[in-house]
Amino acid sequence: MSNSILVTGAGGFIGGQLVKYLEQQGTQIRAVDRKPFEGWYYRSSTAENSICDLQNLESCYQVSRGVDEVYNLAADMGGMGFIEHNKALCMLSVLINTHLLVAARRNQVNRFFFSSSACVYPDYRQQDTQIDGLQESNVYPAMPEDGYGWEKLFSERMCRHFREDFGLQTRIARYHNVYGPLGTWDGGREKAPAAISRKVALAVLNGTKEIEIWGDGEQTRSFTYIDDCLYGTEMLMRSDFVEPLNIGSDEMVNVNQLVDVVEEIAGVKLKRVYNLDAPKGVRGRNSDNTLIKKVLGWSPSIRLRDGMEKTYSWIYDQVKARAEGRCFIAAYE
- Write out pLDDT tens, residues 148-178: 999 999 999 999 999 999 999 999 999 999 9
> 252-254 and 220-222 as β-strands: parallel, antiparallel, unpaired?
antiparallel
- Mean pLDDT in residue range 205-209: 93
CA distance 193 to 185: 9
Residue 34 predicted with pLDDT over 70: yes
Q: What pLDDT is recorded for position 96?
A: 97
Per CATH, is 4-179+223-247 categorized as 3.40.50.720?
A: yes
Total-model pTM: 0.94
Architecture of the 192-221+252-328 domain: Alpha-Beta Complex (3.90)
CA distance 33 to 39: 10
Q: Which one, of 190, 165, 168, lies nearest residue 180 by Cα?
A: 190
Q: Which one, of 8, 28, 17, lies nearest residue 226 by Cα?
A: 17
Average pLDDT, the chain: 93
Q: What pLDDT is recorded for position 325?
A: 87
Residue 224 predicted with pLDDT over 80: yes
Residue 184 predicted with pLDDT over 90: no
- Mean pLDDT in residue range 61-75: 97
Q: What pLDDT is recorded for position 103?
A: 98
Residue 263 predicted with pLDDT over 90: yes
Q: Which residues are catalytic?
A: 148
Q: What pLDDT is recorded for position 329?
A: 52
Domains of the chain, by residue range, sit at 4-179+223-247, 192-221+252-328
Q: Which one, of 256, 238, 236, 254, lies nearest residue 246 by Cα?
A: 236
CA distance 275 to 215: 5
Q: Where are the alpha helices (DSSP H) in 32-185?
A: 57-64, 80-83, 87-91, 94-106, 148-166
